[in-house]
Amino acid sequence: MECLIRIAIVALLCTNYCLGDACSSESCPSESKTNRYSKDANTKYAKYYAAIEKAEANYIECNSSGCKCFADVMSRDLDVFSKRRIDQTLIQSAKSRGTLYQIINGQLYRQKDCMFPSRCAGIEYFLTRVITNTTNIELVINTRDYPQSGKHFGEPLPIFSFSKTPDYNDIMYPAWAFWAGGPAISLYPNGLGRWDTHRVTLDDARQKFPWDEKKDVAFFRGSRTSSERDNLVILSRAKPELAEAQYTKNQAWKSEKVLCYYILFFSTRLTIYAEFKKITLKDTLNMPPVKEVALEKHCEYKYLFNYRGVAASFRHKHLFLCGSLVFHVGDEWKEFYYDALKPWIHYIPVQPNASPKELENLIRFAQDNDAIAKRIAERGPATVELCVATLGAQSARVPQAGCACTARAPTSSSCVEFYSELLAFAALLLLLLLLLLLLLLLFLTLRTDFNFHQGCLSFISYEKVEINFSRQQRTATLVLHQGQIDFEETSPQSRILLTPPDLTKVSAKCKASVRATSLSADAYELNVAARRRLREEHQNPAQGCRYCAP
C-alpha cells in the first residue's frame, strides 16, 4: 500500500510539472501547446480527424495557368445548352432578366437602361479589359444579386450571373470583385469592391497579426439577412470565450415585431414636429445593433465565420487573406472560384442549420488542435492569390479601350456625357423633393387641430411619459404607464417622445408642449375617466384621440 502511495505521488508531481501554466514547449517538448490528445478528445473529434485525413488524401492542387483550373465550372454551366443552341430567340427571352451587352469590333455597347447602374459600372470594368481579344458577341448579364434562370420553370436562358445555387441554369462568370456595385455599408459607401486596395491592406493586417498573436475566438459581424446566423450569435452571448458574434443594422430582412418611438427634431413658437422611428427587434435578435467592422479588423481573430447573404457572400474571398481559419457555412451558393477551395483543406465546412452545440464543438476542435487549424489557415491565402492570378483580377488600372454607356456607337466622351446627365438629373430630383418637403411643412404649420394617433402605441418602450397640455392658463398632464395600458415591457433606457407616427402639429389652439421624461413623484395624473377614455382610444386606434385641457 505504501508503495502504491509513493507511485501516485511521483505520478502527480510529474503531471504537475508537465501541465504547469500552459505546458510550454520547454517543459513539455513532446507536447504541442494546444493539442490535447486525451481519450475524450480523440472520441469527440474522431469524425473531424477522419474528414481531414480523407480530404488531404484526395486533394490534388491545380497549378495550371490560364483557365484550366476552372474548366469543369465552364463545362458544367454550358452543358445545358449543348442540345439547345444559344440563338437570337434565347437572347431576346433573356433580355428582360438582365442587361444586354454587345462587343463589336473591339468596342463595348450596352442597352441604354440598367436596373443597377453601379453594378453595370463594375461589370464594365472587367469587360473593357477583354474586348480587344474578343470576337463579336452579344450576351445578357444579370445585374441583380439573385440568379434568374431556374431549372424548375421555363427553358434554360443564357444569362451570366456572378453566383448561383444548383437550382439555376445561370452561367457563372469570374466576377472576382465588382469595381462598383458591391454591398455598401458605412465603412465602404461605394461598395465592397476595390480588390486591389483590399489585397494590400489585408496583407498588411495579416503581417501585423500572425497566427500566434491572433485572438483565440471565433468572429462574425454582419446583418441578419437570414436566421442561419442566429446560432453563432446565441453561442457568443452564452460563451463569449468561444465566439464574438454580433448583428449590425439590417439592410435586407425585416421582422414582424417592432418597437416604435418618436424623437423631437424641430420646434417653433406655435408648432412642434416629431419624427417617427422604427426598430425591428428581431433584426438584431432582440439586442441593439453594433457598428460595422472593417475587413482588416477581422484579421485579429483566429477563426472567421462566413455566411451567405441574399446571395453568395462578398466577404468570402477577403477573409482568406487574413491568414485566419475560415469556417464556411453551407455549400449551396457558389461563385466561379469556389470549386478551387476544398473543405477541410482550405476551410472548415459548417452545416447551415448547425446548432450552438455543434458550433461550439467545431470551435473547440480548432482551439484544441492548433497545429491542424494553422495548417488549414495557411493554405487559404496562397490558393486565393492563385485564383486571382489565374483570372487576371489583380490589376488596379482601368483600361481606356472601348466604352459602355448606350446601345449607340459611343464617342470618346460619351461615357462622361452620360454620367454627367445622370448626375444632373439626380440633383434636379433632389431639389424637387426638398421643395415638396418644405411645402408639406408649411401645410402642417397652417393646420389648426391636434391629432393624437395611437396606431403603434402597444409597442412603445418606456417607463413613464407625460404630455402636458396648456390652454387659457390651465394645465393637464396625461400620464402613460405600463400599469395603465397593456404595453410590451422592454428596456426603459431611451428617452421617448410620444407623438403621432407621421409629422404632426401641436396647434396654437392647444399651445401644447410635448416632452419625454421619467415621471416625478408629484406629477399630476388625469382622472380615472380620462384614463378610461385613453384605453378605449387605444383599443380602437383608427379613431385617434384628441386631448386638450378643458
Tens of pLDDT, residue by residue over 486-506, are 223 233 333 333 333 322 333
State the pLDDT at residue 352. Answer: 92
CA dist., res. 478 & res. 523, Å (int): 10
**Secondary structure of 475-543 in HEC code, one letter for each residue:** EEEEEEECCCCCCCCCCCCCCCCCCCCCCCCCCCCCCCEECCCCCCCCCCCCCHHHHHHHHHHHHCHHH
pLDDT of 364 over the 50 cut: yes
Pairing mode of beta strands 258-267, 243-247: unpaired
Pairing mode of beta strands 243-247, 137-141: unpaired
Region 378-399: mean pLDDT is 62
- Quick one: which of 433, 324, 416, 437 has its CA closest to 377? 324
Q: Do residue 295 and residue 382 come from a single domain?
A: yes
State the pLDDT at residue 527. Answer: 35
Tell me the percentage of the chain whose pLDDT exceeds 90: 29
End-of-domain residue from the set 125, 140, 172: 172
CA dist., res. 133 & res. 66, Å (int): 15
Q: Do residue 536 and residue 462 come from a single domain?
A: yes
CA dist., res. 535 & res. 530, Å (int): 9
What are the backbone angles phi and psi of residue 230, rounded to the nearest 5°? -60, -45
**Secondary structure of 349-398 in HEC code, one letter for each residue:** EECCCCCHHHHHHHHHHHHHCHHHHHHHHHHHHHHHHHHHHHHCCCCCCC
Q: Do residue 226 and residue 345 come from a single domain?
A: yes
- Specify the long-range contacts of residues 360-367, CB closer than 8 Å, at least 24 apart: 360/235, 360/239, 360/242, 361/44, 362/48, 362/327, 363/217, 363/218, 363/242, 363/243, 363/303, 364/242, 365/44, 365/45, 365/48, 366/302, 366/303, 366/325, 367/34, 367/216
pLDDT of 193 over the 50 cut: yes
Instruction: Establish if 450 belongs to a structural domain.
Output: no
Which of these ranges, 33-37, 196-200, 339-343, 375-379, has the smallest mean pLDDT?
Answer: 33-37
Which of these ranges, 96-105, 149-158, 181-190, has the smallest mean pLDDT?
Answer: 181-190
State the pLDDT at residue 61. Answer: 82
Q: Do residue 309 and residue 224 come from a single domain?
A: yes
Instruction: Establish if 16 belongs to a structural domain.
Output: yes
Which of these ranges, 80-84, 122-126, 229-233, 462-466, has the smallest mean pLDDT?
Answer: 462-466
Q: In terms of residue numbers, what domain contains 142?
A: 68-172
Residues in the chain: 550
CA dist., res. 273 & res. 263, Å (int): 9
Query: Which of 79, 87, 113, 145 is the catalytic position?
Result: 145
Instruction: Establish if 259 belongs to a structural domain.
Output: no
More confident residue, 376 or 27: 376
Instruction: Establish if 521 belongs to a structural domain.
Output: yes
Instruction: Establish if 443 belongs to a structural domain.
Output: no
Instruction: Establish if 282 belongs to a structural domain.
Output: no
Q: Do residue 89 and residue 20 come from a single domain?
A: no
State the pLDDT at residue 83. Answer: 83
Q: Do residue 114 and residue 214 come from a single domain?
A: no
- List Cα–Cα distances, 154 to 89, 162, 173, in angstroms: 14, 21, 22
Q: Do residue 20 and residue 114 come from a single domain?
A: no
More confident residue, 156 or 62: 156
CB atoms near residue 273 (< 10 Å): 17
More confident residue, 387 or 32: 387
State the pLDDT at residue 19. Answer: 38
Instruction: Establish if 216 belongs to a structural domain.
Output: yes
pLDDT of 197 over the 50 cut: yes
- Residue for cell digits 417592432? 258
Helical ranges in 36-154 per DSSP H: 39-44, 46-58, 71-78, 88-94, 117-130
Instruction: Establish if 419 belongs to a structural domain.
Output: no
CA dist., res. 6 & res. 12, Å (int): 10
Confidence of residue 46 (pLDDT cuts 50, 70, 90): very high
State the pLDDT at residue 427. Answer: 85
State the pLDDT at residue 116. Answer: 79
| All three cell numbers of 77 | 454551366
Tell me the percentage of the chain whose pLDDT exceeds 70: 56
Q: What is the pTM of this model?
A: 0.61
pLDDT of 44 over the 60 cut: yes
Residue 34's region, left for phi above 0, alpha for psi from -120 to 50, else beta, is alpha
Region 333-340: mean pLDDT is 88
Confirm if 114 and 101 have CB atoms less than 8 A apart: no
Q: Do residue 233 and residue 345 come from a single domain?
A: yes
State the pLDDT at residue 383. Answer: 82
Pairing mode of beta strands 301-306, 325-329: parallel
Q: Do residue 203 and residue 327 come from a single domain?
A: yes
Q: Do residue 336 and residue 480 come from a single domain?
A: no
Domain count, the chain: 4
Q: Do residue 164 and residue 297 come from a single domain?
A: no
Confidence of residue 133 (pLDDT cuts 50, 70, 90): confident
Give, as one character, the DSSP assignment of residue 180.
S
pLDDT of 313 over the 50 cut: yes
Confidence of residue 233 (pLDDT cuts 50, 70, 90): very high
State the pLDDT at residue 271. Answer: 32
Q: Do residue 167 and residue 207 come from a single domain?
A: no
State the pLDDT at residue 525. Answer: 34
Report the chain's mean pLDDT, rounded to a whole number.
68
- Quick one: which of 401, 392, 419, 404 has its CA closest to 195? 392
Pairing mode of beta strands 334-335, 163-164: antiparallel
Confidence of residue 292 (pLDDT cuts 50, 70, 90): confident
145 classed as catalytic: yes
